[in-house]
Structure 1
Amino acid sequence: MKLTAPISMKRLIDLVKNKFFLVTMAFLVWMIFFDKNDLFSQYEYRQQVKKLEQERDFYKVETDQVNKELSELTSNPQQLEKFAREKYLMKKDNEDVYLIVREKKDK
């Protein structure tokens, strides 16, 4: 009685002994785990790109809003006075300014 491995096991052993298969597997392992641009680094880079794109969009909106306010302030003196009073608490010589700070109720 002769013991033989099943055909699929023999094919698997032959595949593992194949030098082209071994070189291909070593290359894939190197590229996935050890290379400068491995999969984990690529994932982190993509996360950084998404974060930077969100920041870019936020700053575009903020820039548009500031440009709009600037154009309103340069074209309208009443708007400029209102802006100075609200943002920088400026006042005329004969005026008094009172700040009312309201407490937020926590639930």
Structure 2
Amino acid sequence: MKKVIPMLKNKYLISTSILVLYVLILHETDIFAIKNKRDRIADLKEQIEIKRDQIEDLKVSLNELEDPRALEKYAREEHLFKKDDEDIFVFSFE
């Protein structure tokens, strides 16, 4: 205990401790804000990769729809389009 009290009276130690405390915790770019920003950047990079994969899938689908038969099949299955002389029955199993 006697060794600790003189250290607490050292003005350099006190000022350095206050500066470190300010930089790590109290400043607007503290360690918590930096960690949150890095986590946000990682999340955004993951979202970019997901969007790129979705774009590639859409490009493949778009190339497949160049064929008129494939386009008709897509319209019938996904959007329930029909010809004028047809009736459509939709069965839903839930």
TM-score range, shorter chain: 0.7 to 0.9
State whether structure 2 residue 88 is matched by structure 1 residue 100.
no
**Secondary structure in 2 aligned to 1:80?**
helix
Q: What's the CA shift string for 1:42-91, capped at 9, x where partnerless?
A: 222122122212211211111110111011112x1111111111111111
Question: For residue 21 of structure 1, what is the aligned residue in structure 2?
Answer: 13
Q: Tell me, in whole angstroms, the C-alpha distance in 2 between the residues paired with 1:91 and 1:102.
A: 22
Separation in structure 1 between the aligned mates of residue 42 and residue 26 of structure 2, nearest angstrom: 24
CA deviation vs aligned residue, 1:9-49 (integer Å, no higher than 9, x gap): 32x33322222211111111001111011111122212212
Partner Cα distance (1:79, 1:14) in 2: 85
Q: Determine if the alignment matches structure 1 residue 81 to structure 2 residue 60.
A: no
Identity %: 29
Computing the radius of gyration from Cα coordinates, the structure with the larger value is 1
* Structure 2 counterpart SS, 1:98: coil
SS in 2 for 1:96: coil
- TM-score computed with the length of structure 2 as normaliser: 0.88
Unaligned runs of 5+ in 2: none
Moved segments of 4+, more than 3 Å:
none
SS in 1 for 2:65: helix
Q: Give the corresponding residue for 1:71.
A: 63
Number of aligned residues:
94
Unaligned runs of 5+ in 1: none
TM-score, normalising length: structure 1: 0.78
